[in-house]
A and B are shown apart, each in its own frame.
Chain A
Amino acid sequence: MTAGDKILLAHGGGGRLTDEIVRNIILPAFDNETLGKLTDSAEIQFGKDSICFTTDSYVVKPLFFNGGDIGKLAVCGTINDLAVSGAKPLYLSLALIIEEGLEVDTLKKILYSAATAAKQENVQIVCGDTKVVEAGCADKLFINTSGIGVKWPKANLGFKRIAAGDKIIITGRIGDHGMTIMSQREGMKFETDIKSDCASVAQICEKVIEALGNDIKFMRDPTRGGIAATLNEIANQANCGIEIYEENIPVNPTVKAAAEMLGFDILNVANEGKAVIVISPQKVEKCLDICRSCKIGKEAAIIGQVVADGEPLVELVTTIKGRRIVQMPYGRELPRIC
């Protein structure tokens, strides 16, 4: 570990330090091919069927935020991990770690919110667990959800399929979730009307895969670390260069201003209801139309492309036609946002 012999908050931030702990500490402990692929979901073969399986823990603070709450987030987040892996989300588990003293009403509100989010996507929560820890040993409520989905037959996704010339789509405005949480965090006197984008992207994923199948090369939900982390991972794993165009990236101006004021690069800020889609150039317009026909994809945009380049770097062409590198965020940008 480069940052000493103790776990730092940044190790959980979704950036370079998270990547390090996963590769150097966690992977060696379990060492198997499926885990080693480091995809959003594990793909497991059962006879002819391909099952996707994923898990995620949610520790967002505050529990309720403009646009959602930890319950909705825990369901949508896991649904999204399955959907961007090319699988129809079907069943979820939901495990609670509750701090002694949490109001029952608060818990109820969160659980019903989770239930509503699941119902909207025809996903069932079929098993769970409840643990309570002493006051001070957790922060109100942590939730873990795991999910199972079945691969859409036409889905053929993978880093290896990405090639120079492929286009990159984002399904809407970036940074809404991260900046909403930051603005509502304890101690931050910063009030705006910005709202988390917390939502399921399953519908968009299903539609584009149904319509375009093989032309969809790769999808990912750019959560912690924002699109900067996602695009860097794509560049690294697919060993390609990526070029994105600042003027094409959709951002709510208030969110952008808030990010700038607090010193965050909007590209590093988390999303919870967006997908990055890598698509063949021939079908990019069609894909964009499909995204925009969906409720949460109205502001989808083509933000860049994969370039033939010796180095796996993400480069931003700025509004004044300058260029700069977009790096993998370090990881301490926004702790406990999901």
Chain B
Amino acid sequence: MLERINRAYTQIARARKTLGRTVNIMEVCGTHTVSIFRTGLKTAFPEGLKLLSGPGCPVCITDQGYIDAILAFADRADIIIATYGDMIRVPGRNGSLEQKTNRGNIKIILSAEDVLKLAKQNPTKKILFVAIGFETTAPATAVMANEALQQGIKNIFIFSNHKLVVPAMEALLSGKNHRIDAFLCPGHVSVIIGSDAYKPIVKRFKKPCIVAGFEPMQIIEAISEICREIADGKPQVGSVYHAAVTPAGNRTAQKIIDESFDIAPGCWRGLGRIDKSTLKLKEKFAGLDAEKQLGIEFIPEEDLTGCCCGEVICGLMDPPDCGLFATSCTPDTPVGPCMVSSEGACAAWFKYTRKKRQS
């Protein structure tokens, strides 16, 4: 293990020399962010390498307007909100789902399939499904929607805000202020979309894109490869996650996404509106579409005052540089989603890095 770490150090030093400055690598996936902190990688790397946390946590990149739209429905007696766990603590303009008095009507689910169960158990209620996540969770939503359609279930309403990763990466590199030299590409998402999905990024922006799994040695290998490519001036698409990721990805999952969703423009926290970045249900699912059936409306909003989650997601700022970090914004009293989500960069910084004890 030490040998591989040393090899990575050599490549980091080479890349640094080539660039004449610190090498900035963005990890796009929230699971990578957590792994980097949890395994101590952040402290194990030498100076000259900076890891930036990117827009890879589904809760964090969700626009404030979407969260407030959900919250507005949380007080209705005829509605059950079905959501993945982290979402319930994200603050809206008026409290979070966790603080709602009818907490019994807010159900934490572990997979989209649970929504079917909830709908059958509560036939008199409308189940509003908070459908967020990337290409990893979208197929599950699609399968569930198809099941609901086939079984004639009428009380499921999907509020789709599924996002596509590649358009966000392109948007980041198209921004003027970015400081990204390469991407450590997400593990789970790449299982679905395949490593070839990053080819356009490499071609257009000349930045290495390497997929890794979540074990520390995988991340070290990928960083080593990225730095080698930077030093050699030969950016490429690649993967060190051979066990799970193929160049073409999972065609079955891709097919079900294609057949169930239309690609639409969508709003991202920090990045704003990005063309062709969001999945909306196809017309055949109109009966299950919360926007069409319940009139739930998603109006993009500014972030809460003082919250820098947007800048953090874009790699423009480290969490401790936010004025709210560890003062008014902590995991117990989060202001922005990056402090709530278990995969959020702020939560990871707060949780795992050495700092003075909070009084």
Where the two chains meet, the residues of A that have a C-beta atom closer than 8 Å to any C-beta of B are 2-4, 6, 8, 16-17, 187-189, 263, 265, 311-313, 315-325, 327, 330
Bound Cα distance A242, B350 (Å):
18
Which residues of chain B (246-301) have a CB below 8 Å from chain A?
A: none
Asked if A187 contacts B43 (CB within 8 A), the reply is no
B40 engages A2 (CB within 8 Å): no
Could you give, for residues 327-358 of chain B, a 1 whenever the CB lies within 8 Å of some chain A CB and a 0 otherwise? 00001110000000010000000111111110
* With known contacts A8-B98, A319-B216, A325–B332 Cβ distance under 8 A: no
- B117 lies within 8 A of chain A by Cβ: yes
Interface positions of B (Cβ within 8 A of A): 1, 5, 37-44, 95, 98-99, 101, 109-111, 114, 117, 216-217, 220, 331-333, 342, 350-357
Point out the residue from B42, B111, B351 that lies within 8 Å of A327, measured CB to CB: B351
Q: How far is the CB of A276 from chain B (nearest CB, A)?
A: 21
CA distance A16 to B351 in the complex (A): 13
Residues of A within 8 A of B220 (CB): 320
9 contacts between A and B (CB under 8 A): A317-B40, A318-B216, A320-B40, A320-B41, A320-B216, A322-B216, A323-B43, A324-B39, A325-B353
Q: How far is the CA of A328 from the CA of B351 in the complex (A)?
A: 9
Which of A2, A8, A312, A320 is packed against the most chain B CB atoms within 10 Å? Answer: A320
Q: Which residues of B lie under 8 Å from residue A315 when comparing CB positions?
A: 354
A sample of 12 more A-B contacts (CB under 8 A), given A311-B356, A318-B44, A319-B216, is A17-B332, A187-B117, A189-B111, A319-B39, A320-B220, A321-B40, A324-B37, A324-B43, A324-B352, A324-B353, A327-B351, A327-B352
A187 and B99 in contact, given A313-B357, A327-B351 (Cβ under 8 angstroms): no
Question: Nearest CB to that of B44 among chain A residues?
Answer: A322
Cβ A322 vs Cβ B39 within 8 A: yes
Bound-state CA distance A319–B39 (Å) is 7
Q: Which residues of chain A are within 8 angstroms of B331 by Cβ–Cβ distance?
A: 330
**Which of B44, B217, B350 counts the most A-chain CB atoms under 10 A from its CB?**
B44
Say yes or no: A313 contacts B39, CB within 8 Å.
no
The answer to whether A188 touches B39, judged by C-beta atoms less than 8 angstroms apart, is: no
Please name all residues of chain B whose beta carbon is closer than 8 Å to the beta carbon of A323 when the two chains form the complex: 40, 43, 354
Contact status B333-A2, CB under 8 Å: yes
Let me know if B332 and A318 touch, CB within 8 A.
no
| 4 closest residue pairs by CB, A with B | A322-B40, A318-B40, A322-B44, A324-B352
Chain B contacts for A265, CB-based, 8 A: 38
Main secondary structure of the interface of A (DSSP, over half): loop
Bound Cα distance from A325 to B37, whole angstroms: 9
- Nearest A residue (CB) for B220: A320
Q: From B330, which residue of chain A is reached at the shortest CB distance?
A: A2
A3–B5 Cα distance when bound, in Å, is 43
A188 vs B114: C-alpha distance when bound (angstroms): 9
Residues of A near B114 (CB, < 8 A) are 187
Query: Whole-angstrom distance from the CB of A309 to the nearest CB of chain B?
Result: 10
**A311 proximity list for chain B (CB < 8 A):** 356-357
- B101 close to A6 (CB less than 8 A): yes
In the bound complex, residues from chain A placing their C-beta under 8 Å from that of B101 are 6
Question: Once the chains are docked, how many angstroms separate the CA of A317 from the CA of B38?
Answer: 10
Measured in the bound complex, the distance between the Cα atoms of B30 and A144 in whole Å is 41
Given contact pairs A3-B332, A187-B117, A321 touches B44 in the complex (Cβ within 8 A): yes
Min distance, Cβ A282 to any Cβ of chain B, angstroms: 30
A residues in contact with B356, CB < 8 Å: 311
Q: How far is the CA of A152 from the CA of B39 in the complex (A)?
A: 41
* One of A2, A263, A321, A324 near B342 (C-beta < 8 A): A263
**A320 to B351, Cβ gap below 8 A?**
no
Q: How far is the CB of A281 from chain B (nearest CB, A)?
A: 25
Tell me the nearest residue of chain B to A17, going by C-beta.
B332
- Residues of chain A within 8 A (CB-CB) of B37 are 324
Query: Chain A residue with minimal CB distance to B109?
Result: A187
Q: Which residues of A contact B1 (CB under 8 A)?
A: 320
- How far, in whole Å, are A330 and B340 apart by their CA atoms in the complex? 11
Tell me, in angstroms, the Cα distance from A322 to B216 when the chains sit together. Answer: 10
**What distance in Å separates the Cβ of B338 from its nearest Cβ neighbour in chain A?**
15
A18 to B350, CA, bound (A): 20
In the complex, what's the smallest C-beta–C-beta distance from B237 to chain A, in angstroms?
26
Assess whether B38 is in contact with A324, with CB atoms less than 8 Å apart. yes
Whether A313 contacts B354 by the Cβ 8 Å rule is yes
User: Given the interface contacts A4-B99, A325-B352, does A320 sit within 8 Å of B5 by beta carbon?
Assistant: yes
B44 touches A6 (CB 8 A): no
Residues of A within 8 A of B354 (CB): 313, 315, 323, 325
Q: Whole-angstrom distance between the alpha carbons of A313 and B355 in the complex?
A: 9
State in angstroms the CA–CA spacing of A315 and B111 once bound together: 34
Distance A312 CA – B351 CA, assembled complex (angstroms): 15
CB distance from A269 to the nearest CB of B (A): 14
Closest to B39 in A: A318
Task: Tell me if B216 and A2 are in contact (CB < 8 A).
Answer: no
Instruction: Report if A16-B332 is in contact (Cβ < 8 Å); known contacts: A315-B354, A316-B40, A322-B40.
Output: yes
- Across the interface, which residues of A come within 8 angstroms of B110, CB to CB? 187-188
Residues in B with CB closer than 8 Å to A322 are 39-44, 216
> Within the complex, what minimum Cβ distance (angstroms) separates A325 from chain B?
5
A317 to B44, CA, bound (A): 10
Please give me the residue from chain A that is nearest to B108 by CB atom.
Answer: A187
> What chain B residues lie within 8 Å of A324 (beta carbons)?
37-40, 42-43, 352-353
Closest B residue to A260 using CB positions: B214
Q: Which residues of B lie under 8 Å from residue A317 when comparing CB positions?
A: 40
Which listed residue (B39, B332, B357) contacts A320, Cβ 8 A?
B39
